Amino acid sequence: MPERYEYLPHRLLRHRVRDIASGAEGELMAVIHEDVSDSVVCERWVELTYIRAKSGREFSTLVDNIEPA
């Protein structure tokens, strides 16, 4: 079975970013091209970012939703 995700490079990795959708801020830990579908028949790929907030908890958002903080 092929991998259902792939790590991508991003210019803001390890920098402080803001999630435009929620206003939350943190350090950009990873950008992943990920298959979020629940079926192998119909794949749905998105580019998600994983951001670590000051509390240490990570959250994800679409790559288009981040900006430098």
Q: Taking the chain, what is the end-to-end CA distance rounded to the nearest angstrom?
A: 38
CATH number of 5-68: 2.30.30
Kind and range of the H or E run holding 69: none
pLDDT at 9 over 70: yes
Q: Where do the domains of the chain lie?
A: 5-68
Read off the pLDDT of residues 17-48 as tens digits, 9 standing for 90 and up. Answer: 999 999 999 999 999 999 988 887 888 999 99
Are 11 and 64 in contact by the 8 Å Cβ rule? The answer is: no
Amino acid identity, residue 61? T
- pLDDT score, position 40: 77
